[in-house]
Structure 1
Amino acid sequence: MIKVEDLQQYGKEHLESVVASATTVQNGVQAIAVAYGDYAKKSFEDTKSFVEKLSGVKSLDKALEVQTEYMKSAYEAFVAESQKIAGLYTDLAKQTFKPLESMVAKFTPAAAA
């Protein structure tokens, strides 16, 4: 037989899990937004530096060299930042569902029996 106290305890645990999960989501989304902002700022500064270098070039060979250098560094930065941001998304997903794991674990043995 189910007791009222058990239902109240379950409701309290459920609410605490939801609040913990929401807090985790908020912090994770904020970290992802900061990472995107930092990457955008760095990308803008790198592009500005590239344009300044390119405007001072006197020959076609040097212009191609500067452009190649910029494209290589831009690609490497993009790949590195993409991996970093993907890691943040993965951590967010793991941390979001972590508080709910204990609740699922409580009902898993009952479902298997």
Structure 2
Amino acid sequence: MSQNLDFQALAKIPFAAATSLTGALTKQVAAFVTEAQGYSLAAFQSNLALIQKLASVKNVDELVNVQTEHARTSYEASIAWSKKVGELAADLSSQAVKTVLVSPQSASVSVKVPSVGKRLQATE
């Protein structure tokens, strides 16, 4: 059984997909890092403000109110941040899928698999 594989043409598909995916991945990772830095800074500032408020508390009711308000705002901030990170992850996965999938019309390489005898093409 003859093998009809053009290895140079076959190697071009994953290389092009990998380089395109790497660019999208780098951009999305930078967005993740930016979001994480922003959230960390905001959380640090919020905790610093909490310590300053706790230092000026004069009774237990005020202490409970300050802690409750801090817990509420911290929870809301963490939920908002997790939504942003979820959106970034969804964008990253959609970019990865778009990058890897090649439409059959633009597929320039046809590969004959010797054991199966069928031609493989990328599908949408």
Fold conserved between structures, TM > 0.5: yes
2:54 corresponding residue in structure 1: 54
- Give the number of the structure with larger relative contact order, counting CA–CA contacts within 8 Å between residues 6 or more apart: 1
After superposition, what is the alpha-carbon deviation per residue over 1:64-99, rounded to whole angstroms, capped at 9, x for unaligned? 111101000000001110111111111111102212
Q: TM-score, normalised by structure 2?
A: 0.74
Q: TM-score, normalised by structure 1?
A: 0.80
Percent sequence identity over matched residues? 25
Give the aligned CA root-mean-square deviation in angstroms: 2.3
| Larger-Rg structure | 2
Q: Which amino acid aligns with 1:52?
A: Q
1:95 aligns to 2:98 (yes or no): no
Which 4+ stretches in 1 moved above 6 angstroms? none
Unaligned runs of 5+ in 2: 108-120
Q: What is the rounded CA distance, in whole Å, between the counterparts of 2:66 and 2:99 in structure 1?
A: 51
1:84 corresponding residue in structure 2: 84
The number of residues matched between the two structures is 106
Please tell me whether the aligned partners of residues 31 and 88 of structure 2 are also in contact (alpha carbons under 8 angstroms). yes
Residue 8 of structure 1 and its aligned partner are, at CA, apart by 4.9
